[in-house]
Structure 1
Amino acid sequence: MRRGLEQLSFDNTYARLPEAFYAKLNPTPFGSPPYLIHANRTAAELIDLDPEQLTRPEFVGVFGGSLLVPGMEPLAMLYAGHQFGVYVPQLGDGRAILLGEAVNDRDEKWDLHLKGAGMTPFSRDGDGRAVLRSTIREYLCSEAMHELGIPTTRALCLVGSDEKVYREQVETGAMLLRMAPTHVRFGTFEVFYYRKQYDALKILADYVIDQHFRDLKDATDKYARFFAEVVERTARLIARWQAAGWAHGVMNTDNMSILGLTLDYGPFGFMDDYDAGFICNHSDHNGRYAFNQQPYIGLWNLSCLAQALLPLTDREALKAGLDRYTPLFEAEYLRLMRAKFGLSDARPEDDELIRDFLGLLQESHADYTIVFRELGEFFTLTPPSRLKGEGEKDRLREHFLNRERFDEWAARYRDRLRGEQSRDDERRARMERVNPRYVLRNYLAQQAIDKAQQGDFSEIDRLFTLLQDPFTDRPGMEPYAAAPPNWGKHLSVSCSS
């Protein structure tokens, strides 16, 4: 059923929790008229919103903070968190407001979370606003991640204004409507644990289980099993980040979704030249959240959540759940990487084969996305000499500085493929379904931002459309699949990005 804005169905379960969980307040409209920059028809369908509604002035009013529709009960959520390893006792929605929880005809619930909606009691020294730059990055990347099969929040729309916002420089403000089944974080549990408000902690755990882990609702050990499932979801999420060559940048516990979703896009980055120690956040001076640290930080963050759940369940049960993380992560990562290499069977030597290839990428500063896409063109039946003869170029080989080492690895890879009787055409088709041609490189996002700051939103639309099908070659879009220019390889992104 397609609905108008005024007919959206709401079931605001979070607003019925005790007042200690939030602060009720309305968004603060911009001081200048808002305007629609882009809207996501696919996301609109998740809440049964008629796509025709996206062109109404009222749509901009609702998601520009000046109008509410019947059923909305706006509030800012309370949470705490460990930021760069240090516990911060109160954070909360400092620039975002949960407008309400929309329910579709399939009984699926979606938080409508408006970022940049103005100051809240949790803003601390902030102004409660988001800037055009950061909202464009999140809008594009959350949808790109979804299309890559990585669990994530979604984005309904991007609303701009001419209101001035001060960050490292003067910028214009914008609002982003973010969607997820819930925005509860690890830090939501931490705030009540460290305040010793164990009754509230239990209410929160029961609420999350009742809403999102219903099969555990009547279990006698439901809190331990709930934690074990969060461990599994988090392990699988981070394995997907690693396989995609994507770094979050700020894996604080307040940025970790209890549902295992990618949450809070700030200084993220897809890798260009492969670097296991890639740091995408210029504020991360010690590399705590470097690409190769993400699996460990996932475990560290889960240990913080386990600590917060101690009043509800047995320590040993929580430890048993935590002990599952590394085997789960490693198994999922290896499964994903086998798919990227086109391997159908699981064999003991695969881990070494994959690690050696990544070592070659590191040594050669080769482009992660491009090389894996071209790996699909690797032949098992054609002798290597033919690829390098008759005027043909072995494009894959040319990415590597040490060609002799690559040839040695390629011989092992060829033997591995032949050992499972791999058929080149079938394998290539499989690999092209998991190795994208297009990703949201930071320089592509920056080009869209630069144009948008001049009032031209065409590049946002072009990238959005391209990233909705990242695995298919598009005629005329070759520049978007190419390695970035030198200026675009090491762009500085910060928490305000």
Structure 2
Amino acid sequence: MKTTFPFDNSFAQLGTGFFSYQMPEPSPTPELIAYNESLGSELGIDAGDDRAAIFGGALIPDGAEPLAQLYAGHQFGNYNPQLGDGRAVLLGEVVDINGNRRDIQLKGSGRTPYSRSGDGKAWLGPVLREYVVSEAMHALAIPTTRALAAVRTGEDIYREAILPGAIVTRVAASHIRVGTFQVFAARQQIDKLQELCDYTLARHYQHANGPEGLLQAAMDAQAKLIPAWMGVGFIHGVMNTDNCQIAGETIDYGPCAFMDAFASDRVFSSIDRMARYSYANQPDIAIWNMAQLATSLVPLMPDAEAAVERFTTMLHKMKDHLRAEWLAVFAEKLGISQPYIEDGTLIADLLDLMERCGSDFTNTFAALNHGSAIDEVTDRVAYNAWHHRWSNRIKDENDPKALMARRNPVIIPRNHRIEQMITAAVEGDFAPFHRLNAALQTPFEDCEGFDDLKRPPSTEEIVPATFCGT
């Protein structure tokens, strides 16, 4: 039985100015590491015996139209006029069983016209990281791209050492980014910019109208996404405009990380030397990215000067929207269903206390599910005073513990466990990968057998920096 896909490709109809047709480079000896059965069923894929060949790029399924997308982007604030899919190939799109259009993309499948000096390949570590973290984010109910498959290619990849090659199959609502709009605006290709705007509205935001409607919808999506990240201690690490997806999903799990000990200025990405994308900076960067989208959409407006004024007003309001969403997320983490503005002080005081004491972010909030986090905070006097205020605040809530249990995970993909999983996989042992992936599918349940995965790292286990893998 061969694997079949219900392809229904629409991006390919936009024309070659938006992409380059590109076949993936076939893996010499593809070996399937993992296949996401539930996601495959959701996508309407009939899985057969040739999955390793398909997801290793060695066999192109019927109906696919492989292509590499064009886009530009600001990388750490510096504009790069042409980026594009340098190591990814979009096989095509399907309309899933819920009626949602989804991209299916091979990441790490070889050189494309946008690879520049890169080899277009991926090694095993970043592939397994993306698989585990993206599926963990989905289980945490945070908008994200998904992982459909991971394949070991059977070839050597040359980075700082010789490493095993691999490909991850990524599923997304689309791969349209802020940078996709930037490239056509910068080139003053207004017809293509308009075509892209119309296509994006039809695909993602049918309730919105025109460039202003698209900007507002994209801003609203980002204003919900970033506080959701912060509510689980997630730091993206590369919030460049080419990694800011218009549909509002988390995309690109390169140097990402989940915090252990809480620190508002925490940075993990090895290339973020100026702390541009630190934990606390993420809301401001979301606004900055949306400002670049607004700039790209101005040429589509009938009056550029009026558009700049209107878009600026919208961007200023986004800060309040982000703050309101942040307040809602963290209030629920404390069992508060309808927060007041004053609750922001209660939240901030706990975070300040956690930061001063070096408290574990996830375990502190998880402990509150059971009534107290005093074992997580070393300043007992200050914590007891805060706990008294909190207890008074939630005494009239209907069921605060149930609300907290839905918002505070007990398990996250901790950096040291991911690194241990990768080290084992490089040696040929995929058991830690499968175990970690299984544990993270029920992040809000205190399941037996996974206590070691909940433990913060020892001093020797701390992972101080994360890397892109390119």
Q: TM-score when scaled to structure 2?
A: 0.96
Residues in 2 aligned to 1:104 and 1:236: alpha-carbon distance in whole angstroms: 24
Instruction: Report the AA paired with residue 457 of structure 2.
Output: P
The residue that corresponds to 1:174 in the other structure is 166
- The whole-number CA distance in structure 2 between the counterparts of 1:311 and 1:447 is 49
1:21 corresponds to: 18
Q: Structure 1: how far apart are the matches of 2:375 and 2:195? A: 58
Residue 120 (structure 1) aligned with residue 147 (structure 2): no
The residue aligned with 2:329 is 336
Per the alignment, residue 42 of structure 2 pairs with 46
In the alignment, which residue of structure 1 is the partner of 2:128?
136
| Aligned partner of residue 367 in structure 2, secondary structure | helix
Please, which of 338, 344, 348 is the counterpart of residue 341 of structure 2?
348
Q: Which has the larger radius of gyration?
A: 1
Of 266-275 and 13-22, the range deviating more from structure 2? 13-22
Of residues 367, 374, 386 in structure 2, which corresponds to 1:397?
Answer: 374
Matched, 1:478 2:451: yes
Question: Is residue 60 of structure 2 the alignment partner of residue 68 of structure 1?
Answer: yes
* Cα distance in 2 between the residues matched to 1:329 and 1:443: 30
Q: Paired residue for 2:137, among 139, 145, 152?
A: 145
TM-aligned CA deviation for residue 345 of structure 1: 3.3
Q: Which amino acid aligns with 1:440?
A: P
**2:457 matches 1:460:** no
Tell me the amino acid that sits aligned with residue 3 of structure 2: L
| Cα offset, 1:455, TM superposition | 1.1
Are 1:158 and 1:175, in contact at CA under 8 Å, matched by a contact in 2? Answer: yes
- Tell me if the contact between 1:81 and 1:252 (Cα under 8 Å) persists in the aligned partners: yes
Query: Quick check: 1:256 aligned with 2:244?
Result: yes
Do 1:231 and 1:324's aligned partners in 2 also have CA atoms closer than 8 Å?
no
Q: Which runs of 5 or more residues in structure 1 are unaligned?
A: 380-395
How does 1:339-418 map onto structure 2 within 5 Å?
Answer: 339-378=332-371, 396-418=373-395
Q: Partners of 1:317 and 1:11 in 2: how far apart?
A: 37
Q: Matched residue of 2:175: which SS?
A: coil
Could you tell me how far 1:41 is from its partner in structure 2?
Answer: 1.2
One-letter amino acid matched to 1:103: V
- Give the 3-state SS of the residue equivalent to 1:38 in structure 2: strand
Cα distance, 1:235 vs. partner? 1.0
Paired residue for 1:487, among 437, 445, 460? 460
Deviation, structure 1 residue 105 = 4.4
> Quick check: 2:31–2:154 contact (8 Å CA) kept in 1?
no
Shift of 1:400: 2.1
Match of 1:5 among 3, 6, 20: 3
Query: Do structure 1's residue 109 and structure 2's residue 92 form an aligned pair?
Result: no
Q: Which residue of 2 aligns with 1:159?
A: 151
- The answer to whether the 8 A contact 1:272-1:489 is kept is no
Q: 1:309 aligns to what SS in structure 2?
A: helix
Offset of residue 316 of structure 1: 2.9
> Comparing 301-310 with 207-216, which one deviates more in the overlay?
207-216
CA distance in 2, matches of 1:239, 1:433: 16
Partner of 2:319: 326
In structure 2, do the counterparts of structure 1 residues 411 and 106 end up closer, same or farther at CA, with 3 Å as the change threshold? closer
Q: Secondary structure at the match of 1:291?
A: coil
- 1:459, distance to aligned residue in structure 2 (A): 1.3
- Once the two structures are TM-superposed, the CA of residue 151 in structure 1 deviates from its matched residue by 0.3
Aligned-residue CA RMSD in angstroms?
Answer: 1.5
Secondary structure in 1 matching 2:300: coil
What is the aligned counterpart of 1:198 among 169, 190, 194? Answer: 190
| Residue 439 of structure 1 pairs with residue 431 of structure 2 | no
SS in 1 for 2:26: coil
Q: Could you tell me how far apart the structure 2 residues matched to 1:301 and 1:316 are?
A: 17
Give identity over the alignment, percent. Answer: 39
- The structure-2 alpha-carbon separation of the partners of 1:107 and 1:476, relative to structure 1 and needing over 3 Å to count, comes to closer
Q: Partners in 2 of 1:433 and 1:346 — Cα distance? A: 17
- Pairs aligned (count): 465
Asked if the contact 1:95–1:129 (Cα under 8 Å) also holds between the matched residues in 2, the reply is: yes
Tell me the equivalent position of 1:389.
none
1:268 corresponds to 2:256: yes
Q: Is the 8 A contact 1:443 1:491 kept in 2?
A: no
Name the CA distance, whole Å, in 1 between partners of 2:439 and 2:359: 23
Alpha-carbon distance in 2 for matches of 1:44, 1:60 = 14
Paired with 2:368 and 2:14, the residues of 1 have a C-alpha distance of 52
TM-score scaled to structure 1, two decimals?
Answer: 0.91
Counterpart in 2 of 1:386? none
What's the CA shift for 1:4?
6.0
Deviation at 1:377, TM superposition (A): 1.8
Give the Cα–Cα distance (whole angstroms) in 2 for the partners of residues 243 and 307 of structure 1. Answer: 30
- The whole-number CA distance in structure 2 between the counterparts of 1:375 and 1:336 is 15
Partner Cα distance (2:337, 2:223) in 1: 22
Query: How big is each residue's C-alpha offset from its partner over 1:317-337, in whole Å with a ceiling of 9 and x where there is no partner?
Result: 322332231111111111111
1:344, distance to aligned residue in structure 2 (A) = 2.7
In the alignment, is the contact (CA less than 8 A) between 1:144 and 1:467 conserved in 2? Answer: yes
Q: Give the match's secondary structure for 1:308.
A: helix
Asked if structure 2 preserves the Cα contact closer than 8 Å seen for 1:25 and 1:74, the reply is yes
The answer for the alignment partner of 2:178 in structure 1 is 186
**What corresponds to 1:390 in structure 2?**
none
User: Could you list the per-position Cα deviations for residues 246-275 of structure 1 after superposition, in whole angstroms to 9, with x for gaps in the alignment?
Assistant: 000000000000011100110001000001
Q: How far apart in 1 are the matches of 2:298 and 2:263? A: 38
Amino acid at match of 1:264: D
Q: Give, in whole Å, the separation in 2 of the partners of 1:121 and 1:344.
A: 50
1:52-86 per-position Cα deviation (integer Å, ceiling 9, x unaligned): x25x1x11111100111111000000000000000
Residues 410 and 445 of structure 2 are in contact (CA less than 8 Å); yes or no, is this contact kept in structure 1? yes
